[in-house]
Structure 1
Amino acid sequence: MRALTIRQPWAAAITFADKRVENRTWPTSYRGPVLIHAGKTVDRRSGPMVAAVVRGLQLELGAVLAVARVVDCHDSADEKTPCTPWSATGQFHHVLDEVTALPLPIPWRGAQGLWVPSSDLMDRVREQLEAETAAHVLREEAGPC
């Protein structure tokens, strides 16, 4: 299990809209469940597409908002056209699927890169998910970290 800290409003766009690519300068071979953590910093450079998505939402900062799965990672240099409207050129696209918003944000300190959440945080996440959802979304995959 891993977690990824993402600046707002991008974390909200993943949690509440259709953003299924997280743009990063680094690749990952990790595939499996990931907590979506909203960092304490707001990216003021977000454009009209993000504004339309997050209008009216309270942007939680410093909290886990959702659970998702990392299903792929590819280099944008390998694409002739962006794979999604959210994709940035010159970046690695961490592809997300099965995004499940938590009913209540869990205040927590984040970290850089893919970080390992504590067992206490995982217990708090599981408490908010139905047993079947938790078993499905949080299942670990065999493979590299």
Structure 2
Amino acid sequence: MTTDLEGGDWMRGISVQQPHAACLLAGAQTIVNSPRAWSWRGWLLLHAGQQIDRAALRAPWVARTIRGRELPTGAVIGVARLTGCHQDPDGSPPCTAFAQPGAWHLEVSDAQALALPIPARGQPGPWRPTEELVDQVLQQLPNVRP
């Protein structure tokens, strides 16, 4: 199978620590904190990074969300659509419980989990996946299209 557009032309990757990656796939988390704004919009491969945010595991709402879920690391575990990017105004309450003050908040929706995680290397910031990686994802999620 080949994509309509070369891998990376219509999809990007983002590496997110667990348990945040699992919370995104569960729909409980709708933003990803970023040090800079992203102008790009579209499908994202959700890559669970090698590190686990141990402090986040102790938050009650995170614990409820991930209960019974595996927390794979070092793999693409799903996709989501990047729909917007914003910063909370100074002095305002955070947009969600996951929002870090001063960070840019990447707004994601339509998260879909892969049945089988695909081992892969991520990188900081947005990255372009290979055509082979996109094809592996589309074998599991054939309805994801530009």
* Band of TM-score, shorter chain: 0.7 to 0.9
Query: Do structure 1's residue 55 and structure 2's residue 67 form an aligned pair?
Result: yes
- Is the contact between residue 76 and residue 88 of structure 1 (CA under 8 Å) also seen in structure 2? no
1:20 to 30, 34, 44: 30
SS in 1 for 2:137: helix
**Which has the larger share of helix?**
1
Residue number among 31, 37, 47 corresponding to 2:47 in the alignment:
37
Amino acid at match of 2:144: A
2:124 is equivalent to residue 125 of structure 1: no
Q: Distance in 1 between matches of 2:64 and 2:119?
A: 25
Instruction: Report the TM-score when normalising by structure 1.
Output: 0.86
Superposition RMSD in Å:
1.5
- The residue number in structure 2 matching 1:91 is 103
Output the amino acid matched with 1:123: D
**Contiguous gaps of at least 5 residues in structure 1:** 140-145
Q: What's 1:106 paired with?
A: 118
| Alignment coverage as a number of residue pairs | 134
Q: Distance in 2 between matches of 1:97 and 1:11?
A: 13
- Aligned AA (1:121): L
The percentage of aligned residue pairs carrying the same residue is 39
- 1:2 aligns to what? 12
Residue 143 of structure 1 corresponds to none
Instruction: Return the TM-score normalized by structure 2.
Output: 0.85
Among 76, 80, 94, the residue aligned to 2:92: 80
